Amino acid sequence: MTEADDLAATRPGRPGGELTMGGLMADPDRLGTYARLREDGPVSRCLFFDGNPLWLVTRYEDAKAVLSDPRLASDSSKHGRMRVTDAHGLPENIARYFNGNMLDSDPPEHTRLRGLVSRSFTARRIADLRPAVERIVDRLIDDAAERERRDGHVDLVDVLADPLPLSVLCELLGVPDDHRHRWAAAAKDLTAMGPDVVAAAGTLVELAKALVDLKRARPGADLISDLIRARDDSGDRLSEDELVTTAITVLGSGNESTVQLIAAGTFHLLSHPEQAAALADDPALLPGAVEEFLRYFNPFELSGVRFTTEPVTIGGADIPAGEAVLVVLAAADRDPRVFAEPDRVDFSRPDGRGHLAFGHGIHYCLGAPLGRMQAEVAIGTLWRRRPRVALTVPAERISWRAAFVSGPGELPVRLGPEAEVGRQP
C-alpha cells in the first residue's frame, strides 16, 4: 500500500475508499480533512446523505467561480437528481415551503423573489434595528450577571449567543412574544438535522402561516407586514406560499449562523486574551475582527447544493450535466493561495472581506449586514462591560457542535466585575 493509499484509508467517511457527507460531518477533525482534500485536488467525489453522488469543491477560486456560474443551478426540482429536503425525509406538503425559497431558485424566478424581498429588507431597516439590538444585548448581559449570582456559573452560549439572534429576527419579522419560544425550539431542531427535523420543519410552517395571517389582519412596522404590502413596478407581489417560505428562510438562514458567529468569535477572544485586550483598547478593530471570525470559523461550512445544467470543468475536473456540486466554504476560506497564514486570526487582514461566509454572486446573503451588526454589538458590548470575562475550563475542553452550522456548544465563564463604562447610554 502506498502512502497515498494509507492517507485515503484513514480518512473519516471512506468505507471502501468512498468519501461520504455523513462521515465528514461526524469527523472531529473536519477542518483537517477539508485541508487534505483541498491540497490533494480541488474537486473530490463524495456521497451525499441519501447515497447520491456529488462533487466537493474546496479551493477558493474554484468555489467563487461555482457560486457565480449560471451553468450551476440551485433549483433541484428542475436540474438535479436530488433535493436536500428529500434526503431528510420531509413530506411534500412541508418540503414545498423549503424548496421554493430564494436560495433554491434561479433567474428569472430568483430575480423576481429577491427584488420583491429586497424592497423591504433594506440597509435602513437594519440600521434602525441597532438600538433594539443594543437594548437586547444589555438586558441579556444583565440577566447573565443575575444568573451567575444565583447559580454560581453562566454559559455565554445559553445566555447571549443563543437568544440574541432569535430575539432580533422575531423583532424584524414581527413575531408575537408568546410565539418566540416555539420559533426558537423549531429553528434549533431544524438546523441540527437530527431525528426531529420533520417535526421542526412542520412547526415552522405552521408558525409562519399563523404569522402571515396575523400580519394580514393586523399589519405593523415589521418585515412581514411590509412584504404583504410590497409590489414591484408591474404590480407583482409575493403569493401566500411565498410569504410563508420567506419568513422561514429569513429565520433559518439568519438565526443559527449568527448564534455560532457570536459564539465562535467569543470563544476565540476568551482563548486569546492578548487579542481580546487589543480589541478592548481599540474598538475600531471590531469590524475587522468580525470579518476574521466569519472567515476563520465560517458558521456555514457548506454552500447550498448546485446542479450542472451542462457539462462543466471545475478545477480541471470534467463534470457531466445533471451532477450535484457542493462548495466547502470552510475549506475555501482557509485556502493559502488566497489568504496568507490562513490558520491565524488577523484583525487587520487587508483582504478580510474577501471571505465567502455569506456566499457570492446572486445568492449573496441579504442578511449579511444584520449578522455583522449583531456580532459587533454582542461582542463589543460584552468586552466593554465585562472586560475581565474568562473561561472557567481550559479552551481545549470546549465541545463543538457538528452540523451544517457549527460552533461551540457551550462557553462556561466568569463574567468578572462590571466596568466603569457600563450599559449603552
Q: pLDDT for 262-302, tens place per residue?
A: 999 999 999 999 999 999 899 999 999 999 999 999 988 89
This prediction has a pTM of: 0.89
* pLDDT of amino acid 82: 56
How much of the chain, in percent, has pLDDT values that exceed 70? 89
What residue ranges in 212-346 does DSSP mark as E strands? Answer: 306-308, 312-314, 317-319, 324-327
* pLDDT of amino acid 3: 31
* pLDDT of amino acid 5: 34
Q: Kindly state the greatest CA–CA separation across the chain.
A: 70
* pLDDT of amino acid 343: 94
Q: How far apart are CA 192 and CA 134, in angstroms?
A: 28
Q: Is the pLDDT of residue 314 over 90?
A: yes
Question: How many Cα atoms occupy the beta-carbon half-sphere of 324 within 13 Å?
Answer: 23
* pLDDT of amino acid 131: 96
Backbone torsions φ then ψ of 57, nearest 5 degrees: -110, 125
* pLDDT of amino acid 425: 56
Q: Which residue has the higher pLDDT, 51 or 176?
A: 176
Q: Which residue has the higher pLDDT, 306 or 29?
A: 306
The number of residues making up the chain comes to 425
Q: What is the dihedral of CA 310, 42, 371, 385, to 10 degrees?
A: 180
Cα dist from 328 to 67, 176, 303, whole Å: 11, 37, 7
pLDDT digits (tens, 9 = 90+) for 88-140: 567 778 888 887 788 888 999 999 999 989 988 888 899 999 999 999 999 99
Q: How far apart are CA 56 and CA 34, in angstroms?
A: 10
* pLDDT of amino acid 421: 64
Nearest to 259 by CA among 389, 371, 393, 147: 371
Nearest to 97 by CA among 208, 216, 236: 208
* pLDDT of amino acid 1: 29
Cα dist from 19 to 96, 168, 206, 334, 402, whole Å: 30, 39, 37, 21, 17
Mean pLDDT (whole number) for 165-183: 90
pLDDT digits (tens, 9 = 90+) for 37-65: 999 888 999 998 778 889 999 999 999 99
Q: What is the pLDDT confidence band of residue 424, given thresholds at 50, 70 and 90?
A: low
* pLDDT of amino acid 312: 96
C-beta of residue 197 within 8 angstroms of C-beta of residue 190: yes
Q: Is the pLDDT of residue 399 over 60?
A: yes
Please list the alpha-helical segments (H only) found in 311-399: 329-332, 368-385
Q: What DSSP assignment string belongs to 140-195?
A: HHHHHHHHHHHHS-EEHIIIIITHHHHHHHHHHHT--GGGHHHHHHHHHHHHHTST
Q: Which residue has the higher pLDDT, 83 or 133?
A: 133
* pLDDT of amino acid 206: 93
* pLDDT of amino acid 78: 66
- Least confident interval from 5-14, 30-39, 40-49: 5-14
All cell numbers assigned to 105: 431558485
Beta bridge partners of 155: 412
Mean pLDDT (whole number) for 297-325: 92
Nearest to 379 by CA among 255, 304, 275: 275
What kind of architecture, by CATH, is found in domain 3-129+153-249+299-366? Answer: Orthogonal Bundle (1.10)
* pLDDT of amino acid 315: 93
Q: What is the pLDDT confidence band of residue 423, given thresholds at 50, 70 and 90?
A: low
Q: What is the dihedral of CA 65, 68, 69, 71, to 10 degrees?
A: 140
List all residues 6 or more positions away from 398 whose beta carbon is below 8 Å from its beta carbon: 267, 391, 408, 409, 410, 411
Mean pLDDT, rounded, of the chain: 87
All cell numbers assigned to 74: 440551485
Q: How far apart are CA 360 and CA 62, in angstroms?
A: 12
pLDDT digits (tens, 9 = 90+) for 193-248: 667 788 888 999 999 999 999 999 999 999 999 999 887 567 788 899 999 999 98
Q: Which residue has the higher pLDDT, 101 or 318?
A: 318
